[in-house]
Amino acid sequence: MSIYDIQVTTINGDQTTLQSYQGQVLLIVNTASGCGLTPHYKGLQHLYETYKDQGFTVLGFPSNQFAGQEPGTEEEIKQFCETNYQISFPLFAKVDVKGEHAHPLFQHLVKETPAPFNTGDIEWNFVKFLVDQQGQVIKQYSARTEPSAIEADIQELLAK
């Protein structure tokens, strides 16, 4: 199965797939509004603004699986992100990212990340997955990896 065939729900409740992102470099992130790492939103938005016109997109997937740090509704999450971080990259409906009910996208990302970048798990909020223009998972970054530390990898993929 291709990453582009996976069904997702937007933050506004629309069912879709990732097909519209084919040909772009993607940074897919599980997010949370009440986490100590929530300021990563600022760096993610900066990357998006810097590279969106070159074929790069950040995709945010809120999750409440880690210490209940994303308890709000989709509307509350969207409002929080827009008000506090001026987020303009695509956000999706809240999902589980690990365990028995993990969303198929995150199952795919964890399974397809190549060694030595695959941890086999999503340890916390703000784990980041870099996907190339063909939908191949290139790297998994830990939750604590600052978005700015990923910039060189994004530039390298965009140059291809």
Active site (catalytic) residues: 35
**β-pair type (128-131, 15-17):** unpaired
What are φ and ψ of residue 119, in 5° steps?
Answer: -95, -10
For tokens 């210490």, name the residue: 67
Contact 65, 96 (CB under 8 A): yes
> Which tokens go with 98?
């690990």
Question: b/e map of 9-27 (b: 16 or more CB within 10 Å)?
Answer: bebeeeeeebeebeebbbb
Contact 30, 122 (CB under 8 A): yes
